[in-house]
Amino acid sequence: MEVPGRIPKIDEFFSGKKIKSSFIFLHKLRIRAFITANCSNYSKYVVSCMYKKNSIILSSVPLKNLPNLWAQNDVLIFLIDLGDYDTLSMECLNNSERENLEKLKTEYFKKRYIVSRMVLKHILCKLLNKTSVLEISTCKDKFGEVHILSHKELHICISYSENIATLAVSKVKVGIDVEIKRPLALKNTLKYLKPVSQFSDKSESDAYILIGWTLREAYCKFSNESMLSVLGKEPDFNNIFYSSYLLDNKYVFSLITDSDSHTIKISRLGKISSD
């Protein structure tokens, strides 16, 4: 796992492949309580909004345009295809980052760590007017949040789902999460997690759960609370801004900031050469 105590993705909860089996039953019970008691209060609204106005076909932006976008927005969100990067280089990583890389157990986790740091550093080179990615160093706090050394004014959040990553670079505190829109696995378990369905279409029912899940994960990243600590209670959405989107008709994406006054730009970032 990349971060001790990180938030498991939704399929990990039900498969138990990436979490300790002794906790699986407890996780399931708490998720049932969360979706049955809490999800309906905010997910119904978000689902309808997402399909009516929050469906976005992403445009691709080159690195050279990022300074202009940064000047015009408070939060930049980038969707990155990990499949664009077949050859991985650790040249952009400093010694501390390489030590963190060595702690990861699978090639998948190692790949997404290298790609996300390489892309993040190229983005920040443009935004901070640096000449080399080696001038930028990342670190994590005890909650697993990524920080940029010597740049406390920047807020970073990263989320992964299968072969894609979303990366937020922000002037304000932000939490994000992404899930690939798909029929959910383990239907026999999931059917107990839903309240009475408000949707007749099966894909909307799946999206209903994914939106509730991504909102909850984004909230945990924003508030630095663990997923287990908030599953049994309703998050306090009164003093924050939250929204969910359907990106390219493929990805369910949720975002949380402290206010609806912030300008947000979501784009696809094409392959970056490591040269």
- Looking at residue 173, its pLDDT comes to 97
Q: Which of 60, 56, 10 is nearest to 31 (CA)?
A: 10
Query: CA-to-CA distance for 123 and 143, rounded, in angstroms?
Result: 23
Average pLDDT over residues 116-144: 95
**Containing structural domain, residue 193:** 40-269
With respect to residue 168, please indicate whether it lies within any of the assigned structural domains.
yes
Q: Is the confidence at residue 95, as pLDDT, over 50?
A: yes
With respect to residue 20, please indicate whether it lies within any of the assigned structural domains.
no
Q: Which of 64, 107, 61 is nearest to 88 (CA)?
A: 107
- Looking at residue 196, its pLDDT comes to 30
Average pLDDT over residues 65-85: 97
With respect to residue 86, please indicate whether it lies within any of the assigned structural domains.
yes
With respect to residue 53, please indicate whether it lies within any of the assigned structural domains.
yes
With respect to residue 146, please indicate whether it lies within any of the assigned structural domains.
yes
Q: Is the confidence at residue 114, as pLDDT, over 80?
A: yes
CB 252 within 8 Å of CB 178: yes
Looking at the 3D structure of the chain, how many domains does it have? 1
Query: CA-to-CA distance for 175 and 154, rounded, in angstroms?
Result: 13
Query: CA-to-CA distance for 190 and 184, rounded, in angstroms?
Result: 8
Q: Is the confidence at residue 16, as pLDDT, over 80?
A: no
- Looking at residue 86, its pLDDT comes to 87
Q: Is the confidence at residue 40, as pLDDT, over 80?
A: no
Q: Which of 112, 113, 109 is nearest to 140 (CA)?
A: 113
Average pLDDT over residues 113-125: 97
Q: Is the pTM of this model over 0.75?
A: yes
With respect to residue 6, please indicate whether it lies within any of the assigned structural domains.
no
Instruction: Show the tokens assigned to 74.
Output: 């408070």
- Looking at residue 8, its pLDDT comes to 57
Instruction: Show the tokens assigned to 147.
Output: 């920080």
- Bridge pairing between strands 241-247 and 251-257: antiparallel
With respect to residue 175, please indicate whether it lies within any of the assigned structural domains.
yes
Ranges 83-97, 147-161, 223-237: which has the least confidence:
223-237
Residue labelled with tokens 């990263």:
158
With respect to residue 21, please indicate whether it lies within any of the assigned structural domains.
no
Residue labelled with tokens 């609806």:
260
Q: What pLDDT, in 10s, does the model give residues 214-255?
A: 988 999 999 998 877 766 666 777 889 999 999 999 999 999
Query: CA-to-CA distance for 140 and 232, rounded, in angstroms?
Result: 27
| Average pLDDT over all residues of the chain | 80
CB 60 within 8 Å of CB 267: yes
β partners of residue 78: 167, 267
The domain that contains 202 carries what CATH number? 3.90.470.20
